Structure 1
Amino acid sequence: MRIEVSIEGGFVAAPGLAKPIVLDTASLPPAETEACERLAREAVADAGTAAGRPQPLMRDGRSYRMKVDLDGRSVSLDASDGSMSPAFRQLLKLVRSHGSR
């Protein structure tokens, strides 16, 4: 599975941070790969609920677009600092800690 996260907004514009963070789960240990897949499925399921819907942007908040290649299809998920599902938040944390720009 491949996950790409683009981040926009925030307090300071930093061009180096505009580049997406990419994680290929093939590079992870099996337990972390399974966790990523589980969280991705939960985040996709949450996208249709109130918890997964992007809300109006917060001043100086960041917005996130996550592209997930899952089960042979590509899914785009959007969230912001002011509203993201718990699964999206946990998956974002994994991508930030294990992915690369």
Structure 2
Amino acid sequence: MKVTLATHGGQAAAIHLRLPPRVLDTDVLPEDAAAELARLVAAAVPAAEEERHGRAPDAMSYTITVEDEGRSTVLTQSDAAMSPAFAALLGWLEKHFA
């Protein structure tokens, strides 16, 4: 599975425009980390499909693309309206990209 994280907007929007999306491939992760990522993705997909409304000027938005076995799933949420499952996945990715 390959997971890509792209960030958009926020007060540092000009900086984010220049940054490429970050990519994480489970093939390079330890088995327990890959399993944890798969669990977080599985929890975030149904939560991201629920429509969330909320507007905030300068809010960051996040696009997580999951490619697995020939399928591609795109999850998009923002700081203004983010499910707990999406937030958990985002936090895990941020920690492992550092």
Is the TM-score greater than 0.5?
A: yes
Q: Is the 8 A contact 2:7 2:16 kept in 1?
A: no
What is the aligned-residue RMSD (CA, Å)? Answer: 2.0
Residue type of the alignment partner of 2:37: C
How many residues of Structure 1 are paired with residues of Structure 2 in the alignment?
97
Q: Name the residue aligned to 1:7.
A: 7
Q: How do 1:21-100 residues align onto structure 2 when only pairs under 5 Å count?
A: 21-49=22-50, 53-99=51-97
Structure 2 gaps, min length 5? none
Structure 1 gaps, min length 5? none
State percent identity of aligned pairs. Answer: 35
TM-score (norm 2): 0.84
For 1:80 and 1:10, how far apart are their aligned partners in 2?
Answer: 10
TM-score (norm 1): 0.82
Change (3 A) 1:84 1:15: closer
- The CA deviation string for residues 10-40 of structure 1, in whole angstroms up to 9 with x for no partner, is 1122157631111111111111111100110
